[in-house]
Amino acid sequence: MANSDCTFIAIKPNGVQPNLTGEIIEHFEQKGFCLIVIKLIQASEDLLKEHYIDLKDCPFFAGLVKYMQSGPVVAMILEGLNVGKAGRVMPGETNPADSKNIIHSSDSVEGAGEIGLWFQPEVLVDTRTVLRTGSKSDE
């Protein structure tokens, strides 16, 4: 995809447990984004502390980590034109009082560095050819 980028999206436990995963993925796909990698994971405390390191001094940090460990998380990478920006807009409000807050999305393309925390390099592929042809080839 020309001018496309990738972003990290996580469906939080309160989105996974009531079986909203398919609906959430469908929402992104209907906007033209491609699902590149997906996995269901019970995130460890260490992974979550690293993931939310920028919030470590906030009073809600421990509760956030505990909440994210309360059930499985669906971690995924999406690709598409301006997917990083759309990934932040599409989930809606991030304040739990204003929404269900069921999705975490990287805050920018640069923030998609979270991908390396959640996925091992060997599961990541060069998707430029895969998306066009359905198979990987040497370009």
- Round to whole Å and give the CA distance between 38 and 55: 25
Q: Does residue 124 lie in a domain region?
A: no
User: DSSP letter at 73?
Assistant: E
pLDDT per position as a tens digit, 28-43: 899 889 998 999 999 9
Instruction: Name residue, tokens 């906007």.
Output: 31
Q: Which residue has the tokens 């998707």?
A: 127
Residues 6+ apart with CB under 8 A from 59: none
Count up the domains in the chain and report the number. Answer: 1
Question: What CATH code is carried by the domain that includes residue 60?
Answer: 3.30.70.141
Average pLDDT value for residue range 110-126? 75
Residue 74 domain boundaries: 5-107
Tens digits of per-residue pLDDT, 4-26? 788 899 999 999 998 999 998 99
The confidence score (pLDDT) of residue 136 equals 44
Q: Average pLDDT, stretch 109-134?
A: 65
Active site residue 104: yes
Q: What is the mean pLDDT of the chain?
A: 79
**CA 75 to chain CA centroid, nearest Å:** 5
| Range name among 7-21, 50-64, 98-112, 121-135 with the lowest pLDDT average | 121-135
Among residues 12, 51, 88, 104, which one is catalytic?
104
- What mean pLDDT comes out for the span 74-100? 68
Residue 110's pLDDT band, with cuts at 50, 70 and 90, is: low
